[in-house]
Amino acid sequence: MAEHTLLEAVNLALRRALGDDDRVLVFGEDVGVGGGVFRATQGLMQAFGPKRVFDTPLAETLIAGMAIGLAAQGFRPVAEIQFMGFIYSTLDQLINHASRLRTRTRGRLTCPMVLRAPYGGGVHAPEHHSESTEALFAHVPGLRVVIPSSPKMAYGLLLSAIRDPDPVVFLEPKRLYRAAKEAFEDDGEGAPLDRCLVRREGNDCTLVSWGASMKETLAAAAQLAEKGVESDVIDVCTLKPLDVTTIVESVARSGRLVIVHEAARTAGFGAEIAARVADVGLYHLRAPIMRVTGYDTVMPLSRLERHYMPNAARIQAAVERSLASD
């Protein structure tokens, strides 16, 4: 069983989807000849031809609109936006058209498209290249928002997203693109959407995160375990629709909840998780819900990033505060 990076897993999933289904198209800025700015689509145009994998102009609104039109006519387009900081001009198309097509046509048309984008910090990129605004998309009815945190998950979740009959925003944590390898088979099996994944088990606290922040969350859980504190670590995977049941079941055992994300704190998706747990699981809590997040500023440049993003020490401190507030 071969080992792959998350970036290679994305490429494998796209290659598998293109080979399995003639309706799948892959396009975006520089994804064809150049293989993408991160090389996620490297070799695909050469393997499947320029009618299946092709470059577009530098026009994100056009990319999203073309994906919607193709999806409405029976194709399964996978469109790439180079960086999440360039994704905002697609909001008009996604909110007013992609997310509403099924409802607008009373089910006569659907929109089986995937909009991929690298997101998040950690690679010392300039402004507009380190965005983490997943909560914007999770707020839109009719959109799925999927974020993998490991190579195997990236492979399976992307395949399932491409096969889904409705629009999916698929955000890839670029800090993890080449960070580690994981062994899995290129067997074409999709991973379940709309479910959280329990990455570590323990009854003392529930830690919830997603994307690149899972790395620090798991590291904090391992360090806490050395002190005798065992935590459930839950990877959200699909932010919308949210599998709140898995989270609440864990909180019912632990009585504590710490949510971790690198997005800015105000109106980040962690606030939605906290509200949903409070709605149905308030009486399970033995301590206030805590959030370890980025700050309400633009991601700082270069090495200052490390002061912005949650780290294992900040997560540990939040868990210890929760335990102390019994």
Q: Using CA of residue 92, residue 164, residue 82, residue 119, what is the dihedral sign?
A: positive
Q: Given 183, 214, 240, which residue is the final one in a domain?
A: 183
Helix, strand, coil fractions of the chain, as percent rounded to 5:
40, 20, 40
46 phi and psi angles, rounded to 5 deg: -65, -35
Q: What is the mean pLDDT of residues 244-270?
A: 98
Query: Does residue 192 lie within any of the structural domains?
Result: no
Q: What are the angstrom distances between the C-alpha of 42 and each of 79, 114, 180, 209, 219? A: 15, 18, 19, 30, 32
Q: What is the mean pLDDT of residues 97-105?
A: 97
Nearest to 220 by CA among 274, 263, 260: 260
Which residues are catalytic, by number? 129
Query: Does residue 146 lie within any of the structural domains?
Result: yes
- Give all strands (DSSP E) within the chain, no chain letters: 3-5, 24-28, 53-55, 76-80, 114-119, 144-146, 168-173, 181-183, 197-200, 205-209, 231-235, 238-240, 257-261, 290-293
- 85: its two tokens: 């900081």
> CATH number, domain at 23?
3.40.50.970
pLDDT for res 125? 83
**Structural domain count, the chain:** 2
pLDDT for res 301? 81
Q: Given 161, 183, 205, which residue is the final one in a domain?
A: 183
The tens digit of pLDDT for each residue in 205-252 reads 999 999 999 999 999 999 999 999 999 999 999 999 999 999 999 999
At which residue do the structure tokens 């069983």 appear? Answer: 1
Q: 303 burial class (0-12, 13-18, 19+ CB within 10 angstroms)?
A: exposed
pLDDT category at 300 given cuts 50, 70, 90 is: confident
Q: How many percent of the chain have pLDDT more than 70? A: 100
Q: How far apart are CA 264 and CA 262, in angstroms?
A: 7
Domain that holds residue 218: 197-324
pLDDT category at 19 given cuts 50, 70, 90 is: very high
Nearest to 229 by CA among 316, 296, 298: 316
- Is 211 in the same domain as 176? no
pLDDT category at 96 given cuts 50, 70, 90 is: very high
Query: Does residue 177 lie within any of the structural domains?
Result: yes
Q: How many CB atoms lie within 10 A of CB 278?
A: 12
The amino acid that residue 291 corresponds to is R
Q: How many CB atoms lie within 10 A of CB 103?
A: 10
Q: 249 burial class (0-12, 13-18, 19+ CB within 10 angstroms)?
A: middle
pLDDT for res 126? 79
- Is 140 in the same domain as 203? no
Query: Does residue 98 lie within any of the structural domains?
Result: yes
Angle at 90 between CA 157 and CA 105, to 5 degrees: 80
Query: Does residue 158 lie within any of the structural domains?
Result: yes
Query: Does residue 86 lie within any of the structural domains?
Result: yes
Q: How far apart are CA 13 and CA 188, in angstroms?
A: 8
Nearest to 9 by CA among 204, 146, 182, 211: 182
Query: Does residue 238 lie within any of the structural domains?
Result: yes
The amino acid that residue 53 corresponds to is V
Query: Does residue 277 lie within any of the structural domains?
Result: yes
> CATH number, domain at 279?
3.40.50.920
The residues with which 232 forms a beta bridge, in sequence order, are 206
> Do residues 141 and 87 touch, judged by C-beta distance below 8 A?
no
- Is 152 in the same domain as 235? no
The tens digit of pLDDT for each residue in 31-66 reads 999 999 999 999 999 999 999 999 999 999 999 999
Residue 78 has pLDDT above 80, yes or no: yes
